[in-house]
Amino acid sequence: MHFLDFYVHIIDERKDLNTLKQNKFAHKIHNTEYDKIATLIPEGNNIYAVIMTHKHIDDKNVLKNLIRKKIKYLGLMGSKTKVKTIFEQLRNEHFSDKELEKVHSPIGIDIKSETPEEIAVSIAAEIIKVKNKG
């Protein structure tokens, strides 16, 4: 996304994560608890958020904090089974189908991605598609 002229802001609650410290492509790296993530992501028609934490429960909590924000793109990485489980849990917590429908998940354009690089391309392609839709 960095090479596509997107401003890349990574937010993670883990303080000593080597891959986070060594990331050369993020414009900003912020360390905070996932429960406070919504305060760091503004609303707007030029805001694109991708959720990919290290735990199922964290993905759900971040999604709960972002789903009602007015942003252009909200994506959740995960298998169909994981996404289905999270969506069912959120419905039980009174999130509507309309709210859940705005979440892109599983994330990325279906190009039968296998490698991390291919998955990254499919996610980037989906975000560009949404951006260029208007």
Q: What pLDDT score was predicted for residue 17?
A: 87
The whole-angstrom separation of Cα 129 and Cα 125 is 6
Domains of the chain by residue range: 2-133
Q: Which pLDDT does position 45 carry in this prediction?
A: 95
Task: Give me the tens of pLDDT residue by residue for the chain, a chain 134 residues long.
Answer: 988 999 999 999 998 888 888 899 999 999 999 999 999 999 999 999 999 999 999 999 999 999 999 999 999 999 899 999 999 999 999 999 999 999 999 899 999 988 999 999 999 999 999 999 86
Specify the pLDDT at position 134. 62
Phi-psi region of 112 (alpha: psi -120 to 50; beta: other; left: phi over 0): left
* Domain 2-133 belongs in CATH node 3.40.50.720: yes
Residue 3's contacts (CB-CB under 8 Å, 6 or more residues apart) are 25
Residue 28, token pair as written in the block:
């900003």
Q: How many CA atoms within 13 Å lie on the side-chain side of 12? A: 17
Which pLDDT value is given to residue 20? 84
Give CA–CA dist 64/35, Å, rounded.
9
CA within 13 Å, CB half, 53? 20
Contact (CB, 8 A) for 105 and 83: yes
pLDDT for the residue 38: 94
**What pLDDT does residue 15 have?**
85
What is the H or E stretch that residue 65 is in?
helix 56-66
pLDDT at position 130: 96
Of 118, 96, 97, nearest to 108 by C-alpha is 118
